[in-house]
Amino acid sequence: MTVTGELQTYPAELYRLLKKQGYHWVGRHSATKKCKWLHESLVHNRSCYKEKFYGIRSHRCLQMSPAVLNCMTYCIHCWRAMPEDIGLSWENIFHGGWDEPEKIVDGLVHEHRRILSGYKAQVLAGKVDEAKYREALNPNQVAVSLSGEPTLYPKLADLIRMFRERDCTVFLVTSGVLPKALEALSDLSAEPTRLYVSLTAPNKEAYLKLNRPIQPDLWSSLLKSLDLLGKFKCSSVIRITALEDVNMGSKDVAQFAELLTRSGCREVEVKGYMHVGFSTTRLTDRNMPLFSDVKEFSEELGDAAGYRLKAESAESRVTLLSK
């Protein structure tokens, strides 16, 4: 059975699963979900590492996707529900009827405020700072990273532009499989504030095993996207997920370094794999590196590719390398 109409066109079981996981749907293919760090910031005054690294404010961040579940890779380390987790394939998910960006932006802000309305009682009880709560109602940071491949949304440039017109910073995370869509962002002056390309595999063979693309030639598409990074004026970042016993060996370091050099990206984030969510069915907790190992791997990578360690967060097992 498929849910259709004003809401969206996903298989009903997937729709229910995502709703249960806290997704708030907007139109047919977009959604927002409260980030754990928004909650932590409001209730416990703790923030995500990006607040420390880049100065964004976790309580003002809206996490969203314009292409929920429309992934072109099925990465083994992904903690989110994938169609295959409930026996569905790409064909069951991808539809192609796209909503207008304005409707998505308005709908996201509306849903974001609905999510936050749950904190009113805590504001009244003095457990959440009222001024901070009011700030949170007006997001000024958008993380386009929740689920799916955002560059599949054909009006992404307009969507980014609309967020930026509303004085929001925009962090876009892509798997880099659609280089033409990325190129369009650069050409159309619709650059995000930070552009992340995710990288888990240092070579094609590993890519097929770790990222499980829907077509094998997506590795060459990813390479084309890496080649485009130097064209962007915004901060271009390669984000490597480090998996113990999988992609952290000395040969991996050398091959990753070649890819970084080739791309000319300004920064590199190395994030240790976390054994949570649906990834626990594909990997074990032994694949989760200690922060000390993430840091050592980062330093070796920095030395090999000409980047220096700029910031680190042991709690989130992440480092930032910069040119």
Q: Are strands 267-272 and 318-322 parallel, antiparallel or unpaired?
A: antiparallel
State the number of binding residues for ligand SF4 (CB under 6 A). Answer: 10
**Closest distance between ligand SF4 and the C-beta of residue 42, in Å?**
11
Rounded Cα distance, 47 and 39, in Å:
9
**Closest distance between ligand SF4 and the C-beta of residue 48, in Å?**
3
User: For residues 226 and 176, is the Cβ–Cβ distance under 8 A?
Assistant: yes
- The residue (of 99 and 269) whose beta carbon lies closer to ligand SF4 is 269
- The residue (of 35 and 185) whose beta carbon lies closer to ligand SF4 is 35
DSSP one-letter code for 100: P
The region of 30-38, 161-169, 263-271, 292-300 touching ligand SF4 under the rule CB under 6 A is 30-38
Q: What's the 3-state SS for 120-138?
A: HHHHHCCCCCHHHHHHHHC
Q: Which residues contact 69 (CB under 8 A, 6 or more apart)?
A: 10, 14, 18, 81, 82, 83, 93, 147, 148
- The residue (of 172 and 177) whose beta carbon lies closer to ligand SF4 is 172
The region of 34-42, 66-74, 105-113, 254-262 touching ligand SF4 under the rule CB under 6 A is 34-42
- The residue (of 170 and 260) whose beta carbon lies closer to ligand SF4 is 170
User: For residues 229 and 195, is the Cβ–Cβ distance under 8 A?
Assistant: yes
Q: Encoding tokens for residue 6?
A: 């004003």
Q: Which residues contact 287 (CB under 8 A, 6 or more apart)?
A: 77, 243, 244, 245, 246, 273, 275
- The residue (of 53 and 307) whose beta carbon lies closer to ligand SF4 is 53
Q: Is 111 exposed, middle or buried (0-12, 13-18, 19+ CB in 10 A)?
A: buried
**Closest distance between ligand SF4 and the C-beta of residue 90, in Å?**
26
The pattern of x and - marking residues 200 through 229 that bind ligand SF4 according to CB under 6 A reads ------------------------------
- Among 67, 82, 143, 246, contact with ligand SF4 (rule: CB under 6 A): 143
**Closest distance between ligand SF4 and the C-beta of residue 222, in Å?**
22
Q: Strand 169-174's sheet: what is its strand order?
A: 23-26, 30-33, 61-65, 141-144, 169-174, 194-199, 235-242, 267-272, 318-322, 308-313
The region of 31-39, 74-82, 156-164, 236-244 touching ligand SF4 under the rule CB under 6 A is 31-39
- The residue (of 62 and 228) whose beta carbon lies closer to ligand SF4 is 62
Q: Where in 57-96 is the site for ligand SF4 (CB under 6 A)?
A: 58, 61, 63
Q: Where in 42-61 is the site for ligand SF4 (CB under 6 A)?
A: 48, 50, 56, 58, 61
Q: Which residues bind ligand SF4 (CB under 6 A)?
A: 35, 37-38, 48, 50, 56, 58, 61, 63, 143
